[in-house]
């Protein structure tokens, strides 16, 4: 679980930016988006093969 603590006098926008960077680094959002819809195993394999080229 990610945690971002705001520093004294720090704007919320800056803390949100740090949170987004952490989420991106861990790949959390990418995984969440990929799990939104069911993907058949054959489609998953096809996508992986295309990506490896």
- The predicted pLDDT at position 34 comes to 84
pLDDT above 90 (res 51): no
Residue pair 6/12 in contact (Cβ under 8 Å)? The answer is yes
Considering the entire predicted model, what is its pTM?
0.57
Instruction: Work out the pLDDT band at 39, boundaries 50, 70, 90.
Output: confident
Calpha distance 27→24 (Å, rounded): 5
Q: Where are the domains of the chain?
A: 12-52
pLDDT (tens digit per residue) in 2-36: 888 999 999 999 999 999 999 899 988 888 888 88
């Amino acid at each position: 679980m990610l945690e971002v603590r705001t520093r004294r006098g720090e704007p919320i926008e800056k803390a949100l930016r740090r949170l987004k960077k952490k989420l991106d680094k861990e790949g959390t959002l990418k995984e969440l988006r990929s799990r939104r819809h069911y993907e058949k195993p054959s489609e998953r394999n096809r996508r992986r093969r295309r990506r490896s080229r």
